[in-house]
């Protein structure tokens, strides 16, 4: 008979009537180690796993589970163990150690076991209890910690990513995801896991920690698993659910803050500037535009960003704060990205929309105030004075004419201001106030300017202070009627046959004063006159001769003739 069968012999071999009971009436039990925590004690009908050494009184070993390298498993109180062991194991806790003295009538009696245990032998056992379970046991789930917010819990067919430490019931570790530097990723309820884990993960929140005690019949049963999980072993898993999703999931949106006024919402083809923090479901930050002090700028709905964000940014308002939860099949899939986004990871983006526009957008003009009786409005080439405040759409102030001593001055249509502002200043009356929304293609473009971010939509509050009628492009002075027939003679005030700059200047000023013509509007009329003189002084000798003096209209006709 094999030694491993000794303790498992049916108790018929040890029927009390077959041997002298000896000096001991019953099993002597010495509980020499009792764990501080004892969640369960062995009862009749329980299935147990234990290690033992068996010796005689003189210390000679007759059997040992340690020598065989395998624990003993069996049911207590159903006659499958010798009566002394059945009694001696009652009430034991997991990890408890006992010395048992079993008298012959509770052991193998007067028959013994041939060649191994003599008749009427008293047996000494040193036992450590490793596992206890019962066929009526259920999964034991203890919630160790749970997030305050839990919008969704695990259901069958969900794909989960979790960390775990796996131990036997006595605390012996057999596996850990932490040692592999990666989560365990799998579907729930589809047979990829042992039944106990399939059940134990249901109802969990992302970020929740659980202890799951699984009886053998919901784990690896009679076969165990390899060399690390013995047959009939209860398993204890300490689980941290990192994230989960379902393959049918779409993008989940949470509107954290929506401005009261939202005149327009972003659609496919719009160019959006936004800040974001990107985290995994357990809160691990993987990216942030704030850390770069620069918005993320992109078109939406055109495949420039992950599909989940393409969808998640649809319909945003300027100034809106939105949470976008993106399942992995709409993000970076099974492969992840770099060393910060694991495979099959759910991504959470907390987004703040700074502005957006469409490449086809015009200048948006809102008239805040328009004086009554407004008959004269600005046109290209007019000289205007205006005050302005310039800001981004999120309210960030950029520039203001009020910071200077006088209003801004510009001749419209001369490319001295951004195109959007030039358009917004057209058709205004003196005293009129407007709000202008200028898209970047009519502002400072993709590159931006000093103090202006690239691709930024600008908001201008403008007030037209005054306006002066301009002159056609290329002209510095125009006549209100026909110019004098003898222009040179009238301009040559001292009749010496040449016109120096002082005579030229005096004549032009007199024509303006008499209302016969007007200069190109400017904050510096003297410079305009000086430029006119320079244009007429062809040889730059400081005076104009009759051959040099030509009207702009005559010059234009000569150029046309030359081209013809």
Beta strand 517-519 with 433-438 is unpaired
In whole angstroms, how far apart are CA 467 and each of 374, 403, 463, 519? Answer: 13, 21, 12, 14
CA distance 471 to 461: 27
Specify whether 82 is catalytic. Answer: yes
In whole angstroms, how far apart are CA 529 and each of 298, 459, 476, 522, 535? Answer: 49, 37, 8, 11, 10
Residue with tokens 């999980």: 229
Q: 448: which DSSP letter?
A: -
Specify whether 108 is catalytic. Answer: yes
Q: Which of 56, 62, 252, 399 is catalytic?
A: 62
Phi, psi angle pair for 511, to nearest 5° = -65, -40
CA distance 412 to 486: 34
Contacts of 539-544 spanning 24+ positions with Cβ under 8 A: 542/500, 542/501, 543/498, 543/499, 543/500, 543/501, 544/491, 544/498, 544/499, 544/504
Specify whether 380 is catalytic. Answer: no
Cβ 400 vs Cβ 388: under 8 Å:
yes
Q: Which of 47, 48, 50, 108 is catalytic?
A: 108
Any bridge partners for residue 430, and if so which?
Answer: none
Which has the closest alpha carbon to 318: 374, 237, 260?
Answer: 260
Q: Which of 50, 125, 159, 477 is catalytic?
A: 125
Q: Which residues contact 436 (CB under 8 A, 6 or more apart)?
A: 363, 364, 365, 366, 420, 421, 424, 458, 459, 460, 461, 462
Any bridge partners for residue 285, and if so which?
Answer: 279
Half-sphere exposure of 444 (CA within 13 A, CB side): 15
Specify whether 62 is catalytic. Answer: yes
Which has the closest alpha carbon to 180: 164, 196, 203?
Answer: 164
CA distance 181 to 334: 16
Q: 413: which DSSP letter?
A: T
Q: Which of 82, 212, 365, 499 is catalytic?
A: 82
Token couple for 448: 């931006």
Q: Which of 63, 120, 198, 243 is catalytic?
A: 63
Cβ 110 vs Cβ 133: under 8 Å:
no
Cβ 45 vs Cβ 53: under 8 Å:
no
Q: Which of 47, 48, 50, 52 is catalytic?
A: 52
CA distance 421 to 365: 10
Report, as residue numbers or ranges, the catalytic residues: 52, 62-63, 82, 108, 125
């Amino acid at each position: 008979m094999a030694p491993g069968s000794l303790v498992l012999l049916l108790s018929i071999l040890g029927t009390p009537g077959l041997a002298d009971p000896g000096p001991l009436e019953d099993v002597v039990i010495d509980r020499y180690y009792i764990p501080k925590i004892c969640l369960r004690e062995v009862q009749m009908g329980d299935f147990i796993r234990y290690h033992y050494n068996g010796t005689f009184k003189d210390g000679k070993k007759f059997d040992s589970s340690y020598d065989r390298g395998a624990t003993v498993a069996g049911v207590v109180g159903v006659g499958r163990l010798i009566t002394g062991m059945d009694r001696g194991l009652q009430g034991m806790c997991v990890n408890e150690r006992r010395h048992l003295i079993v008298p012959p009538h509770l052991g193998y009696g007067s028959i013994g076991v041939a060649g191994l245990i003599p008749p009427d032998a008293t047996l000494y056992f040193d036992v450590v209890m490793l596992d206890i379970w019962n066929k009526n046991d259920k999964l034991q789930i203890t919630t160790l910690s749970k997030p305050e917010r839990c919008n969704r819990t695990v259901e069958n067919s969900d794909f989960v990513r979790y960390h775990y430490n796996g131990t036997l019931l006595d605390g012996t570790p057999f596996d850990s995801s932490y040692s592999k530097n990666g989560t365990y990723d799998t579907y729930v309820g589809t047979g990829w896991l042992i039944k106990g884990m399939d059940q134990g993960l249901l109802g969990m929140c992302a970020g929740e920690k659980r202890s799951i005690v699984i009886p053998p019949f919901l784990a690896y049963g009679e076969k165990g698993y390899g060399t690390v999980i013995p047959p009939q072993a209860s398993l204890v898993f300490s689980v941290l659910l990192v994230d989960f999703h379902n393959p049918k999931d779409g993008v989940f949106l949470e509107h954290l803050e929506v401005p009261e006024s939202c005149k327009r919402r972003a659609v496919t083809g719009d160019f959006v500037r936004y800040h974001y923090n990107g985290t995994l479901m357990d809160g691990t930050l993987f990216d942030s535009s704030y850390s770069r002090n620069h918005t993320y700028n992109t078109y939406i709905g055109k495949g420039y960003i992950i599909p989940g964000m393409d969808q998640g940014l649809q319909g945003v308002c300027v100034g809106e704060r939105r949470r976008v939860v993106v399942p992995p099949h709409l993000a970076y899939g099974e492969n992840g990205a770099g060393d910060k986004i694991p495979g099959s990871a759910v991504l959470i983006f907390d987004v703040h929309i700074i502005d957006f526009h469409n490449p086809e957008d015009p200048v948006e003009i809102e008239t805040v105030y328009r004086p009554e009786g407004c008959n004269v409005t600005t046109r290209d080439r007019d000289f205007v004075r205006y005050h302005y405040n310039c800001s981004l759409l999120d309210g960030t102030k950029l520039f203001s004419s009020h910071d200077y001593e006088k209003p801004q001055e510009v001749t419209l249509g001369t490319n001295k201001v951004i195109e959007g502002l030039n358009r917004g200043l057209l058709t205004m009356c003196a005293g009129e106030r407007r709000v202008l929304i200028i898209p970047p293609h009519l502002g400072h473009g993709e590159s931006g300017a000093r103090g202006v971010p690239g691709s930024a939509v600008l908001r201008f509050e403008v007030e037209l202070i005054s306006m002066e009628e301009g002159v056609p492009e290329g002209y510095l002075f125009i006549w209100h009627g026909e110019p004098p027939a003898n222009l040179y003679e009238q301009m040559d005030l001292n009749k010496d046959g040449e016109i120096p700059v002082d005579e030229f200047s005096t004549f032009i000023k007199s024509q303006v004063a008499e209302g016969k013509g007007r200069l190109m509007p400017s904050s510096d009329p003297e410079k305009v006159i000086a430029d006119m003189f320079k244009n007429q002084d062809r040889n730059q000798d400081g005076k104009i001769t009759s051959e040099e003096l030509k009207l702009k209209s005559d010059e234009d006709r000569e150029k046309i003739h030359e081209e013809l």
